[in-house]
Amino acid sequence: MSQEILLESGTNELEIVIFAIGDGTFGINVAKVECIITAQDVTRVPNSNSNIKGIINYRGRVIPVLDLIKILNLNCSKPTSERLFILININNSDFAVEVSSVKSIKRLSWSEIEKPSNVILSQNNTPITGIVKTEKDGIILMLDFEKLLADIDPSLAMNTSKVFDGLEGKKIVIVEDSPFLIKVVNESFIKAGAVVEKFENGKLALDYLKNCTVSDIHCVITDIEMPVMDGLSLTKYIKSDAKLKQIPVIIFSSIVNDGLKHKGESVGADAQITKPEIDKLVELTKKIKSKVN
C-alpha cells in the first residue's frame, strides 16, 4: 500500500483499512498494511500451528497466512477464489490474512476509537483493541493483530526484561493502552530500580507532565497506537513545549520500522524501538540522558 496516503505525524489522526469477514466488519491501521492483493493459492504446511492456514509466494517472499476466519470463529460464504489477502507488517514480521472484501479506507481521530469495555474483554483471548462507530459501516472492530501473532508465535510475545539494575530511583513515564503490555513494561522497569508512572493514553500522560517537575522525569516511553491521543501527538506536544522539550522521549511500538521511523523523527522522538524488544528498551533507557541543565 502506498505510503503517500499516510498522514502528517502528530495530528492525532490515523487511516484505517475497513474490511469484512462474513458479516463482521473490522479495521486495521494503514501503517501496518503493506498491500492488498487478490486471492492466492495457499500451500498448507504439515504440523504447523492450527491457526496458520498455510503460506503464499508473494514476489519471491514466503508469507504465512493467518486463518482469521477460524481464529474469530466466523462464517464466510464467499468463495475462496473471490476473497482478498491483506499483507501486514508488525514487529518487523510479515504475514497475511484472508478477508471477504475490503470496503474502504477511513480517516479518523484517535479520539473516535473507544476502548472496549471490561465486559467485552473479560475473555483473555478477545483480540479487540478498539471500537469505531460509523453511519456507513456500522460498528468497526479494531483487531489486536499483535496479540493474534504472539499467540501463534510465542517468540513475538513480550516477556519481562532480564535487566535488574541501572535505573535506581529514576522516574519513568510509561504510556501504553494494553493492560498486558503495560504490566510487563512496568515490571521490567521496577526490576531495574525505576519509579514508574503509568498512563493508558497520551492525554493523561501530557496532563501529568504539565503539572510535574521536569527535572524529576528521566524519560517518557510511549506506544504510538492509543485511543484519545496517540504517541506521535504526545511526542510532538512534549517537544514543542518550552518546559517539557528537555524530557527524552522513546517511542516503543509495533509499527516502528525502517519505512515509518521518519514519522517519529519528524515529531522529535529521541529514540525508537520495535516491540517486543524489552531488554533493548531498558538498556537504552539506562543510557539516555535528560536535556535538563
3-state secondary structure of 13: strand
pLDDT at residue number 55: 97
Report whether pLDDT(111) > 50: yes
DSSP class of residue 249?
E
Decide if 88 contacts 94 (C-beta within 8 A).
Answer: yes
- If you average pLDDT over every residue of the chain, what do you get? 89
Please report, rounded to a whole number, the percentage of residues in the chain having pLDDT higher than 90: 64
Q: What pLDDT band is residue 148 in, cutting at 50, 70 and 90?
A: confident
Q: Which residue has the higher pLDDT, 61 or 91?
A: 61
pLDDT tens for 32-78 read 999 999 989 999 999 999 999 999 999 999 999 999 999 998 888 89
SS3 readout for 137-149: CEEEEEECHHHHH
For residue 156 the three cell numbers come to 513475538
Q: What pLDDT band is residue 16 in, cutting at 50, 70 and 90?
A: very high
- d(C-alpha 127, C-alpha 144), whole Å: 5
Q: Which residue has the higher pLDDT, 38 or 276?
A: 38
- The answer to which of 38-42, 190-194, 254-258, 287-291 has the lowest mean pLDDT is 287-291
Decide if 231 contacts 181 (C-beta within 8 A).
Answer: no
Domain range list for the chain: 3-153, 158-287
Report which listed range, 11-15, 112-116, 234-238, 256-260, is most confident: 234-238
Report whether pLDDT(7) > 70: no
Report whether pLDDT(293) > 60: no
- d(C-alpha 179, C-alpha 205), whole Å: 16
What is the average per-residue pLDDT within 281-291? Answer: 86
**Residues pairing with 209 in the sheet:** none
Decide if 13 contacts 132 (C-beta within 8 A).
Answer: no
- Helix H or strand E encompassing 280: helix 278-287
pLDDT at residue number 291: 56
**158-287: CATH number:** 3.40.50.2300
- The answer to which of 123-127, 159-163, 200-204 has the lowest mean pLDDT is 123-127
Decide if 187 contacts 212 (C-beta within 8 A).
Answer: no
pLDDT at residue number 6: 43
Q: What pLDDT band is residue 2 in, cutting at 50, 70 and 90?
A: very low
pLDDT at residue number 15: 94
What CATH class has 3-153?
Answer: mainly beta
DSSP class of residue 270?
S
Q: List the one residue out of 42, 34, 4 whose CA is nearest residue 17.
A: 34
